[in-house]
Structure 1
Amino acid sequence: MSLFSFLGTLEIGFIFGLVAIGVYLTFRVLDFPDLTVDGSFTMGAAIAAALIIAGVNPYLATICATIGGGAAGLVTAWLNLRFNILHLLASILTMTALYTINLRIMGKPNLALIMEPTVLSPFAALGIPDMYLKLIFIALVVILTGLAVAYFLNTQYGMGMRATGANPRMAQANGIVIKEKIYAGLALSNGLVALAGALFAQTNGFADSTMGIGTIVVGLAAVIVGESLSGSRSMLVIIFSCIIGSLLYRLAVSAALNADFMGFTTSDLNLITAVLVGLALIVPQLRREQRARKAAAGGTL
């Protein structure tokens, strides 16, 4: 793997670290399986690209993209809470609708940002090579966001959100407004995913209507890999484990694609993803079974 490919892999890994944090918030904190992220990732890219091309400041465009993703999360929560639509079905409905909405936002299937200003443009005068500048900027954004989310989850409001996912009845009995926490959690989750989409579009120079396909699988893979590495209950450790899981996942995919003896090509990406996610799910289960057998054997002695 060349240095350029390695740095590019880390860059994408950090970007999808934001997706992993968003997926962790819904799947683990709220216990709310949410497939909206496939659409909100593209929505973030579409809004940012369309606004930048229209002459809007890239930072303002990125903020608007994040808000747009949060609104998509609110729609999913509304469908589930107001009309009792199953969470998976509600998120699929929103995701499906977002495909058309994203096309409307962009006006065509893809937009190019190669000649447009981006969030990186103000730092061009520093003279740092582009491949290093993008990685440093993205890494700082993701790390700061991770710190902010970990802090939020340790606040009284954040702990109320965690309690909502852990035991809704007990949380409600303690005066926590369940619906409010679900609305806030899905908005925050999809806002982070949309932020990732906006950054991806600006660092890679394009936004495409199909770029969000499979985002949920990548996010889950990162969360699962991160959880398998960390047994800590500290929110700070867990959040950063998700980011590390995203980096390791992207490195594993890149290594598989660059291993000539395996014969993989970019068209095999979905197969590689499925195998890696499967291994991430199977290996911890095998370890638990092995520990259980050892404990049972020790008890019979």
Structure 2
Amino acid sequence: MLDALTGSVELGLLYAIMALGVYITFRILDFPDLTVDGSFTTGGAIASVMIAGGASPALATLCAFLGGLVAGAITGLLHTKGRINALLSGILMMIALYSVNLRIMGKANIPLLGVDTLLTDVKVLLVMPFVLLVVKFALDWFLHTDLGLALRATGDNPRMIRSFGVNTHGTIIVGVSLSNGLVALSGALIAQYSGFADITMGIGMIVIGLASVIIGEAIFGHRTVIRATFAVVLGAIVYRLVVALAIRIGLEPTDMKLMTALIVIVALTLPMVRGSLRQKALVRKRAAQLEASGRGGERSC
């Protein structure tokens, strides 16, 4: 049981970088980017091919990050310069990346057994929290720079920020590119942790990322950017623990995608249900007050 929990926390720490990338597009830019499913595999593919070929694991991981940046930038260009719908841009890039990733890998699976990686002989549970904190605080710092503030304003009110002379096309491209760079970085680390890269490793990553973001915000809040990014990190860990618990109580591993989708559906609809119940309670309270005041008026007469 302890080993399962430890492994879940380790995976949560690795997937948290991907969740931070999804947070940028989903919450900051309000951009429904499905490139994630492809760029996650791109990161794992680039890192695995380079490491298996004898390259430095650090250099391979950096190249994986750069590959994700390029993939995200192309999605942003398709949307801004090609005038293609945001959702469709991500879908088109995700489909294209499947073939690109196969070209990079040369086959469907690349094993990393017997080769040194960044995570070889490393206690992930001890090292990754520090790496994750560096990524988190670097993202927090970026989102408080002039470019980062323009990025946030683009997601909130693009018309308003354009009136101040900001090129929203540029901020969208930067945001989507950075998002997929972080996703690819997570894919590279997951491939090194798992000991292989597979062409299907990115399937469903967008849903997992959304689940991490929504769970984190629901539990830990998101009033400020610093708090929101912290909540996303913790949400990724909580999600992996929930998955481990579900498997522990007898749920089949093949049902995990269904469970993830249900978690996201519940998390997305819960605020609406809460608001509806709160509104009904206020209406009943108001009706009771009016009834009480009417009775008071009758007595005075």
Q: Give the CA deviation at 1:285.
A: 2.1
Instruction: Identify unmatched segments of 5+ residues in structure 1.
Output: 125-129
CA–CA separation in structure 1 for the residues paired with 2:244 and 2:270: 21
| Secondary structure of 2:84 counterpart | coil
Q: Which residue of 1 aligns with 2:3?
A: 4
| Equivalent residues of 1:49, 1:113 under 8 A apart | yes
Q: Which residue of 1 aligns with 2:94?
A: 95
| Equivalent residues of 2:41, 2:201 under 8 A apart | yes
2:148 maps to a residue whose letter is G
| Secondary structure of 2:34 counterpart | coil
Q: Give the CA deviation at 1:217.
A: 0.4
Q: Give the CA deviation at 1:56.
A: 0.9
| Equivalent residues of 2:44, 2:190 under 8 A apart | yes
> CA 1:283 to 1:197, structure 2 compared with 1: closer, same or farther past 3 Å?
same
1:170 aligns with 2:157: no
| Equivalent residues of 1:11, 1:139 under 8 A apart | no
Q: Which residue of 2 aligns with 1:84?
A: 83
Q: Which residue of 2 aligns with 1:219?
A: 209
CA–CA separation in structure 2 for the residues paired with 1:277 and 1:77: 25
Of residues 138, 145, 158, the one that matches 1:155 is 145
| Equivalent residues of 1:72, 1:94 under 8 A apart | yes
Structure exhibiting the larger radius of gyration computed from Cα positions = 2
CA–CA separation in structure 2 for the residues paired with 1:155 and 1:230: 25
CA–CA separation in structure 1 for the residues paired with 2:170 and 2:222: 28
| Residue correspondence of structure 1 range 61-140 to structure 2 within 5 A | 61-121=60-120, 124=121, 133-140=123-130
CA–CA separation in structure 2 for the residues paired with 1:148 and 1:220: 21
2:285 maps to a residue whose letter is G
Of residues 266, 282, 286, the one that matches 2:269 is 282
Q: Give the CA deviation at 1:273.
A: 1.2
Q: Which residue of 2 aligns with 1:179?
A: 169
Q: Which residue of 1 aligns with 2:279?
A: 292
| Secondary structure of 1:207 counterpart | strand
Q: Which residue of 1 aligns with 2:189?
A: 199
| Equivalent residues of 1:46, 1:105 under 8 A apart | yes
2:75 maps to a residue whose letter is T
Q: Give the CA deviation at 1:287.
A: 1.7
CA–CA separation in structure 2 for the residues paired with 1:157 and 1:64: 24
CA–CA separation in structure 2 for the residues paired with 1:165 and 1:291: 28
Between 228-237 and 197-206, report the one with greater CA deviation: 228-237
CA RMSD of aligned residues (A): 1.3
CA–CA separation in structure 2 for the residues paired with 1:292 and 1:222: 28
CA–CA separation in structure 2 for the residues paired with 1:232 and 1:281: 15
Cα offsets for 1:114-153 (capped at 9, x unmatched): 21111134xx4xxxxx6xx022222222221111111111
1:280 maps to a residue whose letter is A
- How high is the TM-score relative to the length of structure 1? 0.92
Q: Which residue of 2 aligns with 1:145?
A: 135
Identity in percent: 45
Between 230-239 and 22-31, report the one with greater CA deviation: 230-239
| Equivalent residues of 1:14, 1:246 under 8 A apart | yes
Q: Give the CA deviation at 1:295.
A: 2.4
CA–CA separation in structure 1 for the residues paired with 2:178 and 2:222: 23
| Equivalent residues of 2:29, 2:151 under 8 A apart | yes
Q: Give the CA deviation at 1:299.
A: 3.0
CA–CA separation in structure 1 for the residues paired with 2:58 and 2:137: 20
| Secondary structure of 1:83 counterpart | coil
